[in-house]
Structure 1
Amino acid sequence: MSNTDSKTQALGQGPIIVEGTKAVNERIKGESNYLRGTISDDLTDRMTGGFSADNFQLIRFHGMYQQDDRDFRAERQKQKLEPLHNVMLRARMPGGIITPTQWLAIDKFAQEHTSYGSIRLTTRQTFQFHGVLKPHIKLMHQTLNSIGIDSIATAGDVNRNVLCTSNPVESSVHQEAYQWATKISEHLLPKTNAYAEIWLDGEKVETTEEPILGSQYLPRKFKTTVVIPPQNDVDVHANDLNFVAISENGKLVGFNVLVGGGLAMTHGDLSTYPRRADDFGFVPLDKTLEVAAAVVTTQRDWGNRVNRKNAKTKYTLDRVGIDTFKAEVEKRAGHVFEASRPYEFTDRGDRFGWVEGIDGKHHLTLFIENGRLLDYPNKALKSGVAKIAEIHAGDFRMTANQNLIVAGVAQQDKAQIEQIARSHGLIDDGVSSQRKDSMACVAFPTCPLAMAEAERYLPGLVDDVEGILAKHEVSDESIILRVTGCPNGCGRAMLAEIGLVGKGPGKYNMYLGGNTEGTRIPKLYKDGIDEATILSEIDTLVGRWATERQADECFGDFAIRVGVVAEVIISARDFHV
């Protein structure tokens, strides 16, 4: 296959107008024999703890990223040692539901075979293992497979883990929505047998086609959600494809389909920007999978395979036009979108503490700061969840806000589960609303893309923000605060009221103007400021908010109304100007 691609296109139609060299990832995918590469050979190479250049990329399609501990990188360089290579694995858990038996198995593996001993709950509503060395990688996959879990397509240029609203109050609708999240995930998975062959020693089966993803797979990562209004806990505008559940008389009847959201950008590159998703209209349940496949295949064929920074669905929509993209989806799905059904998002946080569902079962949402489950002094979080798993007869639900729900608890079991949670620090009545509304990505020491701290920075930052709120006598209020170590969007800072995006060690871009519903992109307020300046700015702004706000006005709405920042209405134009 030639690595040059010459195509022509009329303005606003079909594939990309460009003549030039394709991104190197296109060559890697094309030569990979449907994602196999030479990964198996690398596994037997004991001269290095890492994977070769192409396989470094290909293992992502199997749910892993090669990393090293950056805290020790410089010291290893001094000793003329290669970085201490390991992998991070992200599991495929559509809707974030995991059984107690599965939980106990992943808890055991994390304790015995990872460098950090922790389980990390992520904004993709799943768990991650960090620090798995090469000799333990196959064991990791085989352990997961033995309990009915895999990590297929949780990274790479494919549709990733499908999110679903996790607050299970309306149990019947949630169950239906969760089932559709699972169906969508299965429908859009790669069909290659590479995962089973490499990691599970499965029978080698020749792959002749990928009917939805194609032999080159997608131009870039692709994210899908199923959301149940009024909760926007999955942050629909951070995702390429979203199915907004529409119910009538307590029964799911179909979905409004939102396309083209995404938060990643590149510092200094004005061709990149976060973008809200567009509402294409309503589809009945029996057209869900056809529409999902049509959106994916349209992006597959029309997305930018030359410049990966402009390869996401959001850029394809802006290049060809929303109406043109929508018409192509309708053509491929064999179905015309109906007018969108009315719905409203009111908030996007998790409902902490006990909540009773309509089926009479009880659900306990536990706040897990930064999603990091580890045993700390006087706070044995990881052991506490394992203790609950040993007696729990329901399931667990990981949320897109990095928290954990103990779901389906019978009335007679509540007291015992709450006692375990409290004794292990999983319930702390002193945790503020501000801390619960704050979130960070992993960043240092494991993420290779991190430019600044995030997970390790956030707890102390929240302490300071709590102090500022108290100073201005608004301690009962909170601001949606998110920190990311780089501009790739994992912590969803580009949907926060205050978003901090790492730009260098101790330096962040500060964005203001998101809202509590998660329907507005914030705008750059200060560029490359240090931690002391961040606190000074927050102090000044909260002081104004406390005295000048209107009734029930959230911080982000206030910042826009008084002109601290302009509202971002059309992402590409308004975000940078």
Structure 2
Amino acid sequence: MQETRPLSGAEKVKAASRHLRGTVAEELAADTEQFSKDSVLVLKFHGIYQQHDRDVRKAEAKKVYSCMVRVSVPGGRLDAEQFLALRRLAHTAGDGTLRLTSRGGVQYHYVGKRELRDLIRAIREADLSTLAACGDVVRNVVCTPAPFDSPEARSLDHWVRLVDRSLKPKTRAYAEIWLDGERAASVVEAESEPLYGETYLPRKFKIAFTREGDNTVDVYSDDLGFVAHFEGGEVAGFTFLAGGGMGQTNGDRNTYPRAADPIGFIRPDQCLDVARAVVTIHRDFGDRTNRRHARLKYVLAERGVEWFRKELAARLGFDFDEPRPLVWQRHEDWLGWHRQDERRWFFGLRVVSGRLAGAILNGVTEAVETLRPQVRITPQQNLLFTGLEEESRPELETILKRHGIPLPHEMPPVLRHSMACPALPTCGLALTDSERVLPDVAAAVQKEAAAAGVGEERIHLRMTGCPNGCARPYTAEIGIVGQSPKLYSIYLGGSPLATRLGLLYSHNVPLEKIGETLRPLLAAWAAERTVGEAFGDYCHRMGMDALRERFLEVGR
């Protein structure tokens, strides 16, 4: 007799939440500083994480609660007024900063419980939302940020917005709690979630769109990715991939990062049907007994890609073609100046760890107020100013320099091509620091690269404060993953085009020894690389066993 494992506690909370209502409204009205455990889970679907400052807890032996509020920005696109509206809200809610996320959204940190409703209403007035920015649903749909003004780009944008809009939860709980509660609650028609069901998905679900050759979105890291092929100025079809994901859990070999598999090729009008069908496979086959093992990637890894193709075709009611070969030319973000069309330009600004605070926030705000560009948030936590006329180029640089903001080419290569998650002090999953120490880590690696004679070479480095991988360290050439306080694992050999995952090189490396640990590897790369060979490709070619034997085991 087959053993039936009990559902996880989260599944029971979702089932009892009445389509994401729970007791959130009642607790919001109560004179308390925090939400209950069950409401904390429900709030994630509304784009809210309850957190506490762990520095304060350590210093004062008490928990001081606040919330992180995440705004969905489909495709990362904001007009000038939307950006300025979000900027103004940072004055009234949270810690005065905006954080650009690794999925093209915006986060507010240190938002008080009593500030939540006013903040979310104001976000909605800017024609944005926090619904489904977190939680066990399809989250913000990302797209390559390059704003080339062409029929191809406009055609791709249509599909991004259609998929993002169509896969949102249908519950009216969001409007009832945060917006116009009385009117929404008075609607008597039956409410249902035809896509998600009563308990939504087993875990989060991430979708990315891009075009042939441009992997700035890290498409292999997503649950579902669509790669557009163009003909005659329109999307002629998509090669789609499935089963990617970054997270893993210390000590649990049943969890691991995984790169997505190419699944098939479809016409553009089949895109939404495919997205819905893949989501339902996750809904029906994802592990609801163990949240650590609940992502779609485990369904593909354990049941097989061919099983997945057959199941998907059966749900669609039609067959799809074999995936087209994918050739990538770019993973580097669109930093600096680029032609948008024959007369206009766009500029990519490096935002370290996505944190807009102090001088860089003020400089970006002045630039948007003055030049009124469209703003795009990239999946690599940077910011694009788009639609700029020729005469705006020196004006933008003047504004940035006046605020002391370095231009991308003025930054050291390692820092320029790095990412980090927030980690401590607010993230409840963090085991150690990430964002706060990234500049020092990047400087240490940069120093070793310069000493080896490769200081001007591009190296992609990503850092997280735990193995969950929000900054996608496993796709980087150097991935630094927090394991315990001030101790990190180092992953090497990821592709410079983010098409291959890195492998574990060394475990429990002290923070202050990360640069030293990489020193002999960088020197060997400088001496032994083939023409044009990137650091990640060199490490992959040499192999982790050989590198460990050569550089880690000597002298042990």
Instruction: Output the TM-score relative to the length of structure 1.
Output: 0.91
Indicate the residue corresponding to 2:551 in structure 1.
Answer: none
Structure 1 residues 226-235 or 400-409, which shifts more? 226-235
Does 2:367 match 1:383? no
Unaligned runs of 5+ in 1: 1-7, 9-16, 568-577
Deviation at 1:426?
3.4
Native 8 Å contact 1:162 1:185 kept in 2: yes
Structure 1 residues 551-560 or 17-26, which shifts more? 17-26
Native 8 Å contact 2:136 2:203 kept in 1: yes
Deviation at 1:345?
1.3
2:205 partner SS: coil
**What is the 5 A alignment of 1:321-400?**
321-358=304-341, 360-375=343-358, 380-400=359-379
- 2: CA distance between counterparts of 1:519 and 1:145? 37
Deviation at 1:482?
0.8
Q: Residues 326-382 of structure 1, C-alpha deviation per residue, up to 9 Å, x if partnerless? A: 21211222221112233311221212211112353210100111111011xxxx111
**What is the 5 A alignment of 1:382-421?**
382-421=361-400
Does 2:48 match 1:64? yes
Unaligned runs of 5+ in 2: 548-556
Does 2:274 match 1:291? yes
- 2: CA distance between counterparts of 1:275 and 1:545? 26
Indicate the residue corresponding to 1:102 in structure 2.
Answer: 82
Given the superposition, is the C-alpha separation of residues 259 and 170 from structure 1 closer, same or farther in structure 2, using an over 3 Å criterion? farther
2:306 partner SS: helix
2:5 partner SS: strand
Structure 1 residues 385-394 or 99-108, which shifts more? 385-394
1:557 partner SS: helix
Indicate the residue corresponding to 2:57 in structure 1.
Answer: 73
Indicate the residue corresponding to 1:84 in structure 2.
Answer: 64
1:185 to 160, 164, 180: 164
CA RMSD for the aligned pairs?
A: 1.6
Letter in 1 for 2:165: E
1:128 to 91, 94, 107: 107
Deviation at 1:190?
0.3
1:56 partner SS: helix
Indicate the residue corresponding to 2:10 in structure 1.
Answer: 25
2:254 partner SS: coil
Native 8 Å contact 1:560 1:566 kept in 2: no
The percent of aligned pairs where both chains have the same amino acid is 39
1:515 partner SS: coil
Q: Residues 368-421 of structure 1, C-alpha deviation per residue, up to 9 Å, x if partnerless? A: 11111011xxxx111111111212333100000000000111223333222212
- 2: CA distance between counterparts of 1:338 and 1:445? 48
1:316 partner SS: helix
- 2: CA distance between counterparts of 1:255 and 1:291? 11
Structure 1 residues 318-327 or 122-131, which shifts more? 318-327
Deviation at 1:492?
0.4
- 2: CA distance between counterparts of 1:185 and 1:312? 19
Given the superposition, is the C-alpha separation of residues 18 and 314 from structure 1 closer, same or farther in structure 2, using an over 3 Å criterion? farther
1:364 partner SS: strand
Letter in 2 for 1:92: S
- 1: CA distance between counterparts of 2:285 and 2:429? 28
**What is the 5 A alignment of 1:167-182?**
167-169=146-148, 171-182=150-161
- 2: CA distance between counterparts of 1:468 and 1:354? 29
- 2: CA distance between counterparts of 1:329 and 1:36? 32
1:20 partner SS: coil
Does 2:28 match 1:43? yes
Indicate the residue corresponding to 1:478 in structure 2.
Answer: 458
1:225 partner SS: strand
Indicate the residue corresponding to 2:121 in structure 1.
Answer: 142
Structure 1 residues 543-552 or 412-421, which shifts more? 412-421
Does 2:415 match 1:435? yes
2:447 partner SS: helix
2:239 to 232, 242, 256: 256
Indicate the residue corresponding to 1:307 in structure 2.
Answer: 290
Given the superposition, is the C-alpha separation of residues 285 and 544 from structure 1 closer, same or farther in structure 2, using an over 3 Å criterion? same
Q: Residues 411-467 of structure 1, C-alpha deviation per residue, up to 9 Å, x if partnerless? A: 233332222122223343420222111111110111111101100111011111111
Does 2:446 match 1:466? yes
- 1: CA distance between counterparts of 2:276 and 2:325? 24
- 2: CA distance between counterparts of 1:425 and 1:69? 30
2:225 to 225, 228, 242: 242
Native 8 Å contact 1:349 1:401 kept in 2: no
| Matched residue count | 542
**What is the 5 A alignment of 1:108-119?**
108-114=88-94, 116-119=95-98
Native 8 Å contact 2:445 2:514 kept in 1: no
2:55 partner SS: coil
